[in-house]
């Protein structure tokens, strides 16, 4: 049994990742911004001690530090899932700059803040992995310009993850970015290609098979390597 810390398990991909991992017998520490939103489905897992829910906003340093200080156990896999699509106006020719900053706070700084805060817990694991749910929309090899704030935030988090991989490789800690597919969630919309179940199953398969050879990479939900 391994312990997974997953941010944003209230809905979407994060919720399904937590559900699938709990169903196969793992331990999950799941974050919610508001513990009042916890799904009734979680009750049986909190009761058997395999799910711990913690309140945390990835923008809020104090809530992150507080959550980390209350946790005294190893974390084997950190999944930075929480994310935001960003403001309505996010074109290069008409930008909501406050909204742009907000999406950077959540999508780029959030994963790094969480990683730093829980690094001591990851260091207690024999084979720690840090996985950030990024997006192909952040790939620098596409010239598309819609939702540029979101794209820039994911491009930036890919660079942050690559840097983390370099810095943590000597300790044997793996760090990667993944694209979860175009997934039917509040963010992906109902026309998206795949279900949360398909995405989570692919992501878990990828995470299970990770070795230090993959560290610093960017991968698709089905395991294919992507260019940054």
Ligand X SMILES: NC(=O)c1ccc[n+]([C@@H]2O[C@H](COP(=O)([O-])OP(=O)(O)OC[C@H]3O[C@@H](n4cnc5c(N)ncnc54)[C@H](OP(=O)(O)O)[C@@H]3O)[C@@H](O)[C@H]2O)c1
Q: Site residues (CB under 6 A) for ligand X?
A: 7-8, 10-14, 33, 57-59, 81-84, 106, 133, 135, 179-180, 182-183, 185-188, 192
Closest CA to 178 of 83, 92, 98: 83
Of the pair 103, 128, the CB lying nearest ligand X is at: 103
∠ at Cα 19 (62, 203), nearest 5°? 85
Residue 228 Cβ vs ligand X, minimum distance, rounded to whole Å: 15
Alpha helices in 78-147 (DSSP H): 97-104, 110-117, 119-123
Question: Cα(181)–Cα(6) distance, rounded to whole angstroms?
Answer: 18
Of the pair 33, 123, the CB lying nearest ligand X is at: 33
Question: Cα(164)–Cα(175) distance, rounded to whole angstroms?
Answer: 6
Of the pair 134, 215, the CB lying nearest ligand X is at: 134
Contact between residue 168 and residue 175 where contact means Cβ atoms under 8 Å apart: yes
Of the pair 10, 202, the CB lying nearest ligand X is at: 10
Residue 113 Cβ vs ligand X, minimum distance, rounded to whole Å: 10
Residue 192 Cβ vs ligand X, minimum distance, rounded to whole Å: 5
Question: Cα(227)–Cα(119) distance, rounded to whole angstroms?
Answer: 27
CB-based contacts of 202: which residues, under 8 Å, 6+ apart?
180, 181, 221, 222, 223
Of the pair 104, 106, the CB lying nearest ligand X is at: 106
Question: Cα(143)–Cα(226) distance, rounded to whole angstroms?
Answer: 16
Residue 165 Cβ vs ligand X, minimum distance, rounded to whole Å: 18
Residue 150 Cβ vs ligand X, minimum distance, rounded to whole Å: 7
């Amino acid at each position: 049994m391994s312990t997974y810390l997953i941010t944003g398990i209230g809905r979407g991909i994060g919720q399904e990742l937590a559900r699938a991992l709990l169903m196969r017998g793992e331990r999950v520490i799941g974050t919610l911004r508001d513990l009042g939103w916890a799904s009734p489905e979680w009750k049986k897992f909190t009761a058997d001690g395999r799910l711990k829910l913690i309140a945390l906003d990835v923008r809020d340093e104090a809530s992150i530090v507080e959550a980390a200080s209350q946790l005294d156990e190893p974390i084997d896999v950190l999944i930075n899932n929480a994310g935001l699509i960003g403001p309505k106006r996010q074109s290069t020719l008409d930008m909501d700059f406050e909204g742009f900053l907000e999406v950077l706070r959540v999508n780029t700084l959030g994963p790094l803040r969480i990683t730093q805060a829980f690094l001591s817990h990851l260091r207690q694991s024999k084979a720690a992995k840090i996985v950030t749910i990024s997006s192909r929309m952040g790939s620098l090899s596409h010239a598309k310009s819609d939702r540029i704030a979101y794209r820039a935030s994911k491009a930036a988090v890919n660079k942050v993850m690559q840097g983390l991989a370099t810095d943590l490789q000597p300790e044997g800690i793996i760090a990667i970015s993944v694209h979860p597919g175009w997934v039917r969630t509040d963010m992906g919309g109902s026309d998206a290609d795949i279900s949360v179940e398909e995405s989570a199953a692919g992501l878990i398969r990828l995470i299970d098979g990770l070795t230090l050879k993959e560290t610093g990479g960017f991968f698709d939900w089905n395991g294919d390597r992507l260019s940054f």
